[in-house]
Structure 1
């Protein structure tokens, strides 16, 4: 669905994207992660022919971009950065204009498609208020509605849940899951680890313009070799397993033990209550921190 080879984008002396070879397959739920300034948005803009590469190649839906972008845009739904809109018009009016200006939209079904898209993102009861009066979360929902107007084969989203509350994030995640199960490939760029971990099946990690990691999420979250014991009696477990406990946090005890069955039998024999028990897996946070540099946005006093 998306293939890039040695993709480079320079702005003067600054290299925003540096030799990225991306591979997004049909049916993927692909999450592109990386710290702020890592090149994620620049990469997304090049996929949509909103910015031109300095070197390298891009293929989307089997066709080269930007040379044949006009042939694939009708099959792509996209939202990049802050959703664009005429602030003095209502959300519904904006979508009507957006649909009229885009490729492949039927005038006969326009009103129905706009109404359906608004319903799907939770804006079915939208009134005539101008977009300038919308909250950030409403603007994000409107941007998603614009991306869904033509039942896209490929959905490309940059920070799709920005500004949404926890319930809104879950609703959008459920919607993306529904679309993916119906055949839409979803590619999303995000800095929210939890969002990607709960939705995506494949992950790419960018750092300083480079794609430093790309794999199935299940492969990245390999077992750590430790056993995770969730218990309300963590102090008792720590005392019993003196020297084998690696860490204790919020009732979760990580234990170094060669035989999980033997460990479980020991806990049962001591009448220690256990609410969950199993191998400890690497978190996506662990994976990203290991793959990226130690740079951050923080500024310390001298």
Structure 2
């Protein structure tokens, strides 16, 4: 499925650098009481979202939880029933024309004309944007090379695999060297190598100044890529935190050892669980923590492969806060919760 390596190390700066306060203080996406109703059904329900410049923000939730509807409202593709939206300092949808040239987006999968080549599709997309004709070839060349499609740019898109179409959609989002990337499932259909390449590209773009807002159901990708996370369930935002705060330490220690039976005999009731990989989850007996525990085990003749503080997983937090999908019955969540 992979058609080439992503080119890294030469990411251009955003076309419109964000002036003013430090990145950690600036909101590039903010919603207040954002709601979208379809009849009696609230697809998005009273959401207050906060995305700051420089973040890689992961937006998670079960199928049917309102993720894509909210993303479409951020881009002015769907009008809210009520509430406020500000993106890059402008009101949406009223001033959306002011910000679209500064945003790269891919929502609900990449759109393309199947009978045209990937290059021709990007030519048409660039022609509809703010870029001048004189620089179009260079912009298209750069976008194709960055997503690994330079070698197949003349092939008709109808011959592309799903992963190649995802790459083409991302190339279209990069044409304007955006200040803000809004992406909906950008790694869908990619093989493991392609997923890693896209992740590395997004990190590099972010480090060059582009804020990334990524909607996905792949928890492992969010954990590997994002600095902050928002979780939505049945239309309501139930968590919004830095990822490091979500994955906090539990106070327990994970011990990996080839001498499991001996470790169990030494630790006794201090062992409270086993990991999927066969390790032991231990509550240290005193304030000495992991260091004291290691010394105790080694002193008792137990060999150690690894010993580290246990952390809450993003998967555990999301499963606890959300249901399995849009067909779940029950009471609606009551607002933002902390893990």
Residue 58 of structure 2 corresponds to residue 31 of structure 1:
yes
Match for residue 89 of structure 2? 62
Match for residue 292 of structure 1? 322
**Equivalences for 1:216-255 in 2 at 5 Å?**
216-249=242-275, 250-255=277-282
Alignment match of 1:256 (pick from 283, 296, 305): 283
Deviation at 1:297, TM superposition (A): 6.6
**Equivalences for 1:145-164 in 2 at 5 Å?**
145-164=171-190
CA distance in 2, matches of 1:99, 1:127: 15
How many equivalent residue pairs?
A: 297
Residue 244 of structure 2 corresponds to residue 215 of structure 1:
no
Cα gap change, 1:297 to 1:13, in 2 (>3 Å)? closer
Match for residue 204 of structure 1? 230
CA distance in 1, matches of 2:315, 2:189: 22
Alignment match of 2:124 (pick from 97, 109, 118): 97
Match for residue 169 of structure 1? 195
Deviation at 1:184, TM superposition (A): 0.3
**Equivalences for 1:77-156 in 2 at 5 Å?**
77-102=104-129, 104-156=130-182
CA distance in 1, matches of 2:210, 2:196: 18
8 A contact 2:249–2:309 mirrored in 1? yes
Deviation at 1:235, TM superposition (A): 3.0
Alignment match of 2:102 (pick from 59, 75, 100): 75
Deviation at 1:293, TM superposition (A): 3.4
Report the RMSD for the aligned CA atoms in angstroms: 1.4
Decide which moves more: 150-159 or 126-135. Answer: 126-135
Decide which moves more: 271-280 or 5-14. Answer: 271-280
* Deviation >3 Å, runs of 4+: 293-298
Match for residue 42 of structure 1? 69
Cα gap change, 1:283 to 1:85, in 2 (>3 Å)? same
TM-score of the pair, normalised by structure 2: 0.85
Deviation at 1:126, TM superposition (A): 1.4
Match for residue 220 of structure 2? 194
Deviation at 1:247, TM superposition (A): 1.6
8 A contact 1:232–1:251 mirrored in 2? no
Deviation at 1:209, TM superposition (A): 0.3
State the SS of the aligned residue for 2:145: helix
State the SS of the aligned residue for 1:278: strand
Match for residue 271 of structure 1? 301
Cα gap change, 1:219 to 1:127, in 2 (>3 Å)? closer
Deviation at 1:270, TM superposition (A): 2.3
State the SS of the aligned residue for 1:30: strand
8 A contact 1:39–1:208 mirrored in 2? yes
Deviation at 1:30, TM superposition (A): 0.3
Match for residue 15 of structure 2? none
Deviation at 1:232, TM superposition (A): 2.5
Deviation at 1:127, TM superposition (A): 4.2
Decide which moves more: 8-17 or 227-236. Answer: 227-236
TM-score of the pair, normalised by structure 1: 0.95
CA distance in 2, matches of 1:200, 1:281: 17
8 A contact 1:222–1:281 mirrored in 2? yes
Deviation at 1:84, TM superposition (A): 0.5
Deviation at 1:262, TM superposition (A): 2.5
8 A contact 1:233–1:251 mirrored in 2? no
Unaligned segments of structure 1, at least 5 residues: none
Residue 19 of structure 2 corresponds to residue 21 of structure 1:
no
Deviation at 1:32, TM superposition (A): 0.4
State the SS of the aligned residue for 1:108: helix
